Amino acid sequence: MTLEAGATAEIGENCPQGGTWYPAGSPSQTRSIGIGNTMPPTPNGEPHWVLKTPTGDN
């Protein structure tokens, strides 16, 4: 099941959906993260990542 844009992932957990993610509150700071990779720390200490565009790998 592909997650939709707006889904969130916590720092340190495995990425639930490959795609373009951005730190909560900073939509211009995107980063591509592949499914299963560890969600990295956010650049400015934001609490979690938000999925902007899923790539279809789930």
24 in a structural domain: yes
- The pair of three-digit structure tokens given for residue 43, joined into one six-digit string: 């650049």
3 in a structural domain: no
Contacts of 57 by beta carbon, 8 Å cutoff, 6+ apart: 17, 18, 34, 35
Residue 36 confidence (pLDDT)? 96
2 in a structural domain: no
31 in a structural domain: yes
Q: HSE-up of 11 (CA within 13 Å, CB side)?
A: 11
Residue 2 confidence (pLDDT)? 86
User: Residue 45 belongs to what domain range?
Assistant: 8-54
Overall average pLDDT of the 14-27 stretch = 97
| Confidence class for position 13, pLDDT limits 50, 70, 90 | very high
28 in a structural domain: yes
Which position has the higher pLDDT, 7 or 1?
Answer: 7
Q: Which of 45, 44, 37 is nearest to 12 (CA)?
A: 37
35 in a structural domain: yes
20 in a structural domain: yes
Q: Is 48 helix (H, G, I), strand (E, B) or coil?
A: strand
- Number of structural domains (the chain) is 1
1 in a structural domain: no
